Structure 1
Amino acid sequence: VLNSKYIKSRTIWKLLSEHGKKVGAINVPMTHPAEEVNGFIIPGMQYGLDTGNDFAYPPGLMQELEKAIGGYKVLYGDMISLYTDRYKDLLKEWREIVKMREKAVLYLMEKYEWDFFMAVFYSVDVMQHHFWKYYDKSHPKHKRSEYSEIIPEFYRYIDSSAGKILDRLDEDTIVMVVSDHGAGPEHKAFYINKWLAGQGLLSFKKKYTYLWKMRLPHMMYKVLRRSGVKAIEWTVPIPYLPFLWRHIDPREGLRVHELIDWSKTSAYAGNHTEQGIYINLKDREQGGIVAQGEEYEKTRDLIIEKLGDLNDPATGVKIVDRIYKKEEVYHGPYTHLAPDIFVDMKEGSYLIQKEVYHKELFRLADKSSGTHKMDGIFIMKGADVKQGVKAENLSIMDIAPTILYAMGLPVPGDMDGKVLNNLFRDSFQEAHPVKYLDAESEGITDGQGVYSPDESGKMKKMLRDLGYMG
């Protein structure tokens, strides 16, 4: 399970701390274990364990929040709301989490001195994944429902919280409202590993054919898993079976990488959050068979060519908008670890899924009806910020260097993104030219071993309940 120790560069709060700035961050993903900073960090999202004494930095902060506001929760997800239309517990929990988050942010803003404060409100993301089909009348699974106003309801919660935060700030404080992505409809799944198999680029181990070609009873998969069959990663917990046995295909819990015969596979897809394809490359993959150089490029070009002609047989319409080679998306010393190909389909309404057991290549999306979009939100205000200016050609990577610039600090030379200095008043730009520092070598941290197998299992379950892992 990914954690903050996998980050190979200094974070914005670490950089600010090194320059003597006081920082606070609450609910930011990928921040557990919390770093030692000149201030405080309360980790966010990827965390599904107890928020005990060592959860936040400094130690004891969670106990302080317990006394001050009555408790704190990071997130909530459950299998029932993910696979059915039973949302009572989900909505109850998230309405409570929204209130807790607001109380925590306002308390920390007033209790502690800070130069930089970052708070993430995550609830709208969960609501959009679950309730887009009720909100969007053009969605193929749309139905009239009491849930049609859930997404606007949670935006109003966040708007109210933002208003209370602004009420506590003076006019000189620079405020940024940023989303890490946009949102929109998710219509269909494309089972790309099945497609790769059909192209002769992926093969399966014969010994596991019975696991994915036939739908066996749920309890059979439980028995097989307990007997040591490695190809079964998870099964539906017994307490959930009365509600979910019809809704969840037990084959969803299969480890696809265990089903694959790597000695006969040239390409494969991993988790759906990547939306990419890996070439089974020698010297990178454990069972790699494709040689670096000419064979690699030929394999990649072949896949790109065939994907470009792909149609949805139900509509006859081409579904691929654009295909990227990884070097068009990433650069730097870890590019070799990224998927070799990225696929953008129907403005993100079609998504790659790794499962192999469906008969069809395309099916209506089942767990989620809303998904992420490339274009998000950016709003900035402050005494030194221009008014009425439309910011264009932005990237989320521009935020960190712009924060450093706004706080009068130099930007590391190896930091991605550009400084949005054109959004500041001319007088501020003249008095504060952009400054850069030479890139420094970083101490490489290792995220392996941070969590025990039991902790990793609990966190994977939480991410599955939220729909981020298959």
Structure 2
Amino acid sequence: SCLVAVPPSYPPYPVEGCLIGGFITPDTNRNYTYPPELAEEIKDLVEDYQVDVEFRIEDKGNLVKELHEMTENHFKVIRHLIETKDWSFFMFVEIGLDRIHHAFWKYFDEGHHLYEPGSEFANVVEDYYVLLDTKVGELLDLIDDDTVVMVASDHGGKPMKGAFCINSWLEEQGLLKLSTPVERVVRLNDADVDWGKTVAWGWGGYYARIFLNVKGREKNGVVDPSEYESTREDIAQRIRSITGPNGETWNTTVLKPEEAYPECNGDPPDLMVYFDDLYWRSAGTMGHGRLYLPENDTGPDDAVHDKMGLYIYYDPREDLNGRAEDLNILDVAPTLIKALGLKVPEDMEGEPLT
């Protein structure tokens, strides 16, 4: 097998074949491949192999250049692996498509609240799709007619309407207490939180993660375990009643992790919040002086994730035509397992496409 930039792939781990780390790799000066000597092979092909780019920046012109160079180099390495390695399964992820959405959505989408008409970057997203289509086409020319091909996105994309300051809202609700008011924009870690009086706090991101300050679980917990469920439900109900900046109704989903997942590991949040069907992301910073921000609080970002993505499947052994509806990302794994001639585990979620 060959796995290129398939998360989580850092630190690299042994596989029956080769592996290249993806976007969570800190840098390529440390071990990011398996076997380790594959890194030297890549260096001979590409002088500066990048796993990702910094995309939340103002210098858009240079970002376009970096994205195209990174993508060209990725496909150069992928082509080399296809031609020189012995593989029965090959999978790669191109992070550039995600980054191009986040950095340039407002330049082509006239409905975006930050749309800039006549921008020199108006065609950047379309041009990148053309680049990807060309590069994928070149790879298809390398494989034989018996190869099964799948293209799948791990998430969709849509315009970001703004960011909602979850911790500032919790403070307004009396659920998060500060010993000293914040006078500038700070992360929660840098705020003077009075944990002895704080009921809940949140982390930002494409969705908000709300944590309750539970006695016996947190160092300075204040929520009695006997009141955990009632407190959690009270906060969930308050969040569901949040409206937009102009009083418009939001389609907000509040989930309890154990209701969404069959198994919760690590330190799951107590609540997961998808503001207005993900159109509004969660800002974890405080000190903005308002609850609603026109964009992301960690740098320029035009787009958010969406539930609907892309799913293309070709199997030369099957008569497949047309468009399939109501597919699920969970169908990807069992479809590939079946295509490899292996038995799909009975307890695996999702169904083979064919």
SS at match of 1:121: coil
Q: Partners of 1:274 and 1:350 in 2: how far apart?
A: 8
Q: Tell me by how many angstroms 1:203 deviates.
A: 0.7
SS at match of 1:103: helix
CA contact (8 A) 1:326 1:341 kept: yes
CA contact (8 A) 2:28 2:49 kept: no
CA contact (8 A) 1:177 1:377 kept: yes
CA contact (8 A) 1:51 1:62 kept: no
Summarize deviations over 1:274-312 as a string: whole Å, max 9, x none. Answer: 4221222233333322233x4111111111221222122
Give the aligned CA root-mean-square deviation in angstroms. Answer: 2.0
The reply on whether 1:195 has 2:169 as its aligned counterpart is: yes
Aligned to 1:459: none
SS at match of 1:337: coil
Structure-2 change in CA distance of 1:331 and 1:286 (3 Å)? farther
Aligned to 1:25: 3
SS at match of 2:252: strand
Structure showing greater relative contact order (alpha-carbon pairs closer than 8 Å, 6 or more residues apart): 1
CA contact (8 A) 1:307 1:320 kept: no
The reply on whether 1:140 has 2:113 as its aligned counterpart is: yes
Q: 2:124 aligns with which of 134, 147, 150?
A: 150
Aligned to 1:318: 249
Q: Partners of 2:318 and 2:283 in 1: how far apart?
A: 43
The reply on whether 1:130 has 2:103 as its aligned counterpart is: yes
CA contact (8 A) 2:27 2:51 kept: no
Structure-2 change in CA distance of 1:83 and 1:121 (3 Å)? closer
1:232-247 aligned at under 5 Å gives the runs: none
The reply on whether 1:364 has 2:294 as its aligned counterpart is: yes
Aligned to 1:430: none
Aligned to 1:347: 277
Aligned residues: 350
Q: Partners of 1:379 and 1:337 in 2: how far apart?
A: 35
The reply on whether 1:306 has 2:238 as its aligned counterpart is: yes
Summarize deviations over 1:422-465 as a string: whole Å, max 9, x none. Answer: x32xxxxxxxxxxxxxxxxxxxxxxxxxxxxxxxxxxxxxxxxx
The reply on whether 1:44 has 2:17 as its aligned counterpart is: no
The reply on whether 1:65 has 2:42 as its aligned counterpart is: yes
Structure-2 change in CA distance of 1:149 and 1:115 (3 Å)? same
Structure-2 change in CA distance of 1:408 and 1:257 (3 Å)? farther
Q: Partners of 1:281 and 1:414 in 2: how far apart?
A: 34
Aligned to 2:178: 204
Aligned to 1:222: none
The reply on whether 1:373 has 2:347 as its aligned counterpart is: no
**Structure 1 length as normaliser, TM-score?**
0.70
Structure 2 residue runs without a partner (length 5+): none
Q: Partners of 2:350 and 2:152 in 1: how far apart?
A: 16
CA contact (8 A) 1:173 1:382 kept: yes
The reply on whether 1:95 has 2:102 as its aligned counterpart is: no
Q: 1:177 aligns with which of 138, 141, 151?
A: 151
Structure 1 residue runs without a partner (length 5+): 1-22, 216-250, 425-470
CA contact (8 A) 2:177 2:198 kept: yes
Aligned to 1:435: none
Structure-2 change in CA distance of 1:319 and 1:165 (3 Å)? same
SS at match of 1:47: coil
SS at match of 1:190: strand
